[in-house]
Structure 1
């Protein structure tokens, strides 16, 4: 997984603005407090269709927790509608060095995403945020898009709610910029998750 390690080593937290650091601070504080109390850290990344940003955030957050040696971190994702992981997201993470196995061949496939040879994979598929696969309590809801944040005023079981929004790369679907913009969004999310977990130790 040399390519993935190379990308992580070349991320620059200097690109995270002061304003974004302020947005991320409450999530950092939540993770720090959970770690201090030796409690499991459960993060559910939520976006309307659970097809793009929420999966990128889930995968990168789990990866960065491992990278910085922060144990007992469990990352999930969900939406307000069930669709499928968008194919360009799958292509993007493979291009960035993750190993991926398609576990089911349905309209809503399950993907196992490996970020390390010896760690269990992150399982990615589209689901409602309150799906049985996700935790029922003692978790933080991280809202990665404005429509899910505004459309879900209440997330049952969530201890905290953090609006950490990202622009939707879907805007560029079908254009010549599509591949570039998906890669950029993935790197942006990776960089911010790197910053978050780098502040926890």
Structure 2
């Protein structure tokens, strides 16, 4: 399955979610192709790189991109929005695309502890999603929110 994680600037939350999803897909042996994008292009924030490095996930090769910069942008089995603004701006996808939304708080401008909370919530949600996909089911928005423990 191809998964797109969409946020506003593709600078923090969507980048962290992408890394977590790839990590858990590898760990659990689930065939996922994961990309992230933003409704606008910015840069990957240093705080995101730092807190992900703390858990052994390297964002140094990541870069901010828009939907039109990801391969085959209209062919995703799942589009996951991780902020309310991206949900509102999310383009119409073909009927076969599933959409899920879990809004994570924006840690920008906050202490690293807030970044860690968002990182960990994204990690819990990502693990739950990959485990569910491995079982052959796609969890609801509410199940994903509960897994994140927001």
TM superposition score category, shorter chain reference: 0.7 to 0.9
SS at match of 2:113: helix
Q: Deviation of residue 156 (structure 1)?
A: 6.3
Q: Which residue number in structure 2 is paired with residue 93 of structure 1?
A: 52
User: Which residue of the partner structure matches residue 104 of structure 2?
Assistant: 166
Residue 74 of structure 2 corresponds to residue 136 of structure 1: yes
Q: Distance in 2 between matches of 1:65 and 1:137?
A: 19
- Do the aligned residues in 2 keep the contact of 1:92 with 1:182 (CA within 8 Å)? yes
Deviations 1:118-153 (A, max 9, x none): xxxxxx211112224454314321111100101225
Q: Secondary structure at the match of 2:43?
A: coil
Deviation of the 1:88 alpha carbon: 0.4
TM-score relative to the length of structure 1: 0.61
Structure 1 stretches of 4+ moved >6 Å:
none
Aligned residue in 2 for 1:58: 18
Structure 2 equivalent of residue 185 of structure 1 = 118
Where does the alignment leave 5 or more consecutive residues of structure 1 unmatched?
1-40, 103-110, 112-123
Q: Which whole-Å CA distance do the structure 1 matches of 2:95 and 2:74 have between them?
A: 6
Structure 1 157/134 Cα, relative in aligned 2: closer, same or farther at 3 Å? farther
Query: Given the superposition, is the C-alpha separation of residues 130 and 184 from structure 1 closer, same or farther in structure 2, using an over 3 Å criterion?
Result: same
CA contact (8 A) 1:137 1:157 kept: no
Q: Which is higher, the Rg of structure 1 or of structure 2?
A: 1
What TM-score do you get using the length of structure 2 for normalisation?
0.79
Tell me the CA shift for residue 99 of structure 1: 4.1
CA distance 1:153–1:92, shift in 2 (3 Å) = same
Question: CA deviation digits over 1:69-117, x for unaligned, max 9?
Answer: 21x21110001111000110011111112245x4xxxxxxxx1xxxxxx
Whole-angstrom CA distance in 2 between matches of 1:141 and 1:75: 10
Task: Name whichever of 82-91 and 128-137 sits farther off.
Answer: 128-137
CA deviations on 1:155-188 (whole Å, 9 max, x unpaired) are 4687122112211112xx1x5xx11111111111
* Partner SS, residue 168 of structure 1: coil
What value does the CA root-mean-square deviation take over the aligned residues?
Answer: 2.0
- Counterpart of 1:45 in 2: which secondary structure? strand
The answer to whether the 8 A contact 2:3-2:76 is kept is no
The CA deviation at 1:194 is 1.3
